[in-house]
Amino acid sequence: MSGFGPTVLRLVVGAVFLSHGVLKVSPAFGGLPETTAMLASLDFQVPHLVAAALGAVELGGGIALMLGAHTGWTAMALLLTTGVTSWKLHLPNGLFLNWSLEPGVGHGVEFDLVLAGALLCLVATGAGRLSFDRARRRMAELEAAGRARLR
């Protein structure tokens, strides 16, 4: 059963990043113009390019995590985006989320720390069961065993 721990973690974290990516790129939720404006207010040099890259990494990374495809590399890419946005956007607001939703007060790094920890766990453990990574590894093992029998 221990192989299902990373699977559950991968599915949940993938869903979080998928939803955040959709918010950043979908016109129904403000999309790239709103993300670009937010990044410009944080003094990013080319906010439109960063917004597109951030949306693509979160959207694609969320899908890849949910499928368990290239989990280590995907988690590292998402860890990088989480680190940069946490440093630029959330760190100035301290640790805790703005639970009271006080206007003009942003969220702290609390949620980003949980995501970073989850991503590091996926880097360390791999995708777990029910993943493309596991299927690809099993196919390679079977192929290697078949070649060894032929010798």
74-108 per-position pLDDT tens digit: 999 999 999 999 999 889 888 887 878 888 788 88
pLDDT at 1 over 70: no
Where do the structural domains in the chain lie, given as residue ranges?
4-150
Supply the pTM of this predicted model.
0.88
Residue 142's pLDDT band, with cuts at 50, 70 and 90, is confident
pLDDT at 47 over 90: yes
The answer to whether the Cα torsion of 6, 8, 11, 16 is positive or negative is: negative
Residue 149's pLDDT band, with cuts at 50, 70 and 90, is low
- Please choose, from the candidates 29, 77, 73, the residue with its C-alpha nearest in 3D space to the C-alpha of residue 53: 77
Q: Which residues, at least 6 apart from 69, have a Cβ–Cβ distance to it below 8 Å? A: 127, 131, 132, 133
Q: Which two tokens stand for residue 84?
A: 């940069």
